[in-house]
Amino acid sequence: MKLQGKTVIVTGAAAGMGEAIAKKFAAEGAKVVATDINKETLDQVVNEITENGGEAIGLVSNIGKQEDVNEMVDLALEKYGSLDVLVNNAGIMDNFVPVGDLTDEQWNRIININLTGPFKAARAAINIMEKQENGGVIINNASIGGLFDARGGAAYVASKHGLLGLTKNIAATYGVHGKVRANAIAPGGVATNIQTTITDPHPLGSQAIGSIGGNTAPLGQSDEIAEVALFLASDASSFVNGTVITADGGWTAG
């Protein structure tokens, strides 16, 4: 029970990596506030957790809306009395659209969900965690698109680079001079439903990702990412702060 008694928020918890993280954390004793925009699948995840003896509550929430961010944090405090871990997992892809063809609407939507939302959630969490005796932990689920160039379209790659910068700044300030550690995970190809959002891949973006082996990259499973998240959330990583753990099966190793 590595997270016994800890209260955790997991965004994008209705499927994929978020679902796996929520279930893994609950199995390790955490009280989970699971959020997502999809009520039906979110309810299924929460029901499965509770049927297996875990503790969880679901909240239909859009990380891109300030009022929804406030609501999920308030719910954690009202229901469980603390907020010990925030997992910013929710994110969306961008069909590999390069800068020349990227619209303002596409840019704003990706940045809002993938970067501005996690910033707002982190801001709310930090202002609670800093007042707690044991502080807290923030885990940002980024992407190798935040470390390299063509692992997504322009908006996606920019959002994930920004998320890693946000993580490191939180770590350098609140992790070093306060009570909140922050780390990020940079997954490679993982079998999740985010792939279904790639509905109309841009030819140039697809060519770029294909040229760096995107079509033959190792494919991981959500449970494997959940294990990394568990380590970062637990006391086992107490001296880990401001780092990015790449979990891509070696895709970017060569």
Active site residues: 156
Q: Pinpoint the alpha helices (H) of the chain.
A: 16-27, 39-51, 66-80, 104-111, 117-129, 154-170, 176-177, 203-211, 222-233
State the DSSP code for 184: E
Residue 19, C-beta contacts closer than 8 angstroms, at least 6 positions apart: 13, 45, 222
Output the CA angle 88-7-12, nearest 5 degrees. 30
Burial of 7 by CB count in 10 Å (0-12 exposed, 13-18 middle, 19+ buried)?
buried
Query: Which amino acid is residue 107, in one-letter code?
Result: W
Spatial CA neighbour of 223 closest among 5, 25, 85, 12: 25
8 Å CB contact between 16 and 194: yes
- Do strands 31-36 and 55-60 pair parallel, antiparallel, or not at all (unpaired)? parallel
